[in-house]
Amino acid sequence: MPRLVMKFGGTSVANLDRIRRVAKRVGVEVAKGYEVIVVVSAMSGKTNELVGWVNETSPLFDAREYDAVVSSGENVTAGLLALVLQENGIEARSWQGWQVPVRTSSAHSTARIEEIPTDNFDDRFSKGMQVAVVAGFQGISPEGRITTLGRGGSDTTAVAFAAAFGAERCDIYTDVDGVYTTDPRVCEQARKLDRISFEEMLELASLGAKVLQTRSVELAMRYKVRLRVLSSFDEMSDDAGTLVCHEEDIMESNVVAGVAFVRDEAKMTLVSVADRPGVSAAIFDPLAEAGVNVDMIVQNIAEDGRTDMTFSLPVNQVARAETAVRDALERGEIEFHDLITDSNVAKVSVVGIGMRSHAGVASKMFRALSDVGINIRVITTSEIKISVLIDRKFMELAVQQLHEVFELEKA
Ligand code: ADP
Ligand code: ASP
Ligand code: MG
């Protein structure tokens, strides 16, 4: 029988009524003759609450216990959905990650899925199981401890199951009706895309569009999973939502496909570091060891053998980064005259595969921002994206302005 993976995010399972609606949707696919694997998130807000409890209990927490606590929200929704499906006369049961087992690396809180053995489910489906309800976001490490896959990780669970079980499609049900040119909550003009390429979706996700976890897009691209994003609140139809697919399957596309942003960024500058070989490594080694995710890096032109080094990082890692840099200074590994931190910046990016063959996107972007008085602090580019760091208070304005200037409301 054909197989389908259906994933429901936090808002879609926020209470019992919504879980009943989810069960109805699953029932429709079962009636069509699919063997269905459903992946669920925790009820909306639950994971944040659990993370908050861990931080409050133990600021320097044991990552294994963090995962034990934070993974629990998904267990509840998986069990509840299995119960409702059973009430509806469907053969269903719930599975926690370790029961499948979803084998992952040992990188607690950011684990990677390494293997999902299929024999267990294959056997159950052949004996009449109609739906397997899987708790998303979690797995088990080689050491036998519970792991989690990073925030938004249920998307990755869903795609990994679709790949492992050769599902006909992986449907990601969420609280918007597809992938938009930008977050529709920030820009009213945002337009829903019928299709988007894997490459563009990957960039948008890694630059902040949280509609899909980055890793889920990587997996779908690698294992050729038909990935669809759609609303769990609209009427069901076969062509609803957005299909994430290969570039060749898209007829026409704009030079810029979308705008993404990360609101809570910070910028640090080490003023007057020596300009000689080994200095960058001496700065970024201790930051990496402290687990700081450095993003953009710029080094100014040197004068008198000294230069300034600026980099961006998530705002909640500033304290850790400052400690790492100051400790390295005390150990005499680096020297600088001053450390300047700005915790009020945001990153805004434009993304599009059309940039490979079109010049002028960068200048258009910079002109558009200057037209509304926005100062650009840092710029980075790659083949299909341009990112800028700006003051956080201008983030919404920047997104709306770029959306308008690149005419993203038009197909
Ligand atoms: P779920 O709980 O279903 O996983 P998420 O909150 O993780 O849902 O992701 C959906 C949200 O992603 C939307 O509510 C929207 O605000 C946000 N989002 C950001 N960028 C985009 C985009 N380009 N298209 C659609 N949604 C986006
Ligand atoms: N519940 C987890 C989170 O909020 C995983 C997910 O919803 O995808 O990050
Ligand atoms: Mg999500």
Which ligand lies nearest the alpha carbon of 186?
1
Q: What is the mean pLDDT of residues 331-359?
A: 94
As given in the structure block, the two tokens for residue 57 are 């209990």
Dig out the tokens for 378 from the structure: 């840092």
Q: What is the pLDDT of residues 104-129, one digit of tens each?
A: 999 999 999 999 999 999 999 999 99
Q: What percent of the chain has pLDDT over 70?
A: 100
Q: Residue 78: what pLDDT?
A: 98
Q: Give the containing element (helix H, strand E) for 43.
A: none
Task: Give the model's confidence band at 248: pLDDT under 50 very low, under 70 low, under 90 confident, else very high.
Answer: confident
Question: 175 CA to middle of ligand 3, Å?
Answer: 9
| 9 pocket-lining for ligand 2 (C-beta < 6 Å) | yes
Residue whose entry in the numeric block shows the structure tokens 């990496």: 288
**pLDDT score of 353:** 92
Is the pLDDT score of 238 beyond 80? no
**Strand, helix or coil at 308?**
strand
Secondary structure letter of residue 168 according to DSSP: S
Mean pLDDT for the chain? 95
366 phi/psi in degrees, rounded to 5: -65, -40
Could you report the per-residue pLDDT of 164-176, keeping only the tens digit for each?
999 999 999 999 9
**Nearest ligand to the CA atom of 158:** 2
Each residue of 360-403: pLDDT tens digit?
Answer: 999 999 999 999 999 999 999 999 999 999 999 999 999 999 99
Question: Does ligand 2 have an atom closer than 6 angstroms to the CB of 10?
Answer: yes
Length of the chain: 411
The pLDDT of residue 216 is above 80: yes
Nearest to 294 by CA among 304, 306, 307, 309: 309
Determine if ligand 1 sits within 6 Å of the CB of residue 41.
yes
| pLDDT tens, position by position, 287-322 | 999 989 999 999 888 888 899 999 999 999 999 999
> What pLDDT is recorded for position 236?
78
Tell me the H-state helices in 45-190.
46-57, 63-70, 72-87, 119-126, 154-164
User: Is residue 52 within 8 Å of 69, Cβ to Cβ?
Assistant: no
pLDDT of 275 > 90? The answer is no
Q: What is the DSSP letter of 192?
A: B
Q: Which of 137, 182, 183 for a ligand 1 pocket mutation test, highest count of atoms within 8 Å of Cβ? A: 183
**pLDDT tens digits, residue range 54-88?**
999 987 779 999 999 999 999 999 999 999 999 99
208 CB near ligand 1 (under 6 Å): no
237 has a pLDDT exceeding 80: no
Identify the residue whose tokens are 């919504």: 18
Q: 394, 389, 399, 110: which is closest to 265 by C-alpha?
A: 389
pLDDT for the residue 79: 98
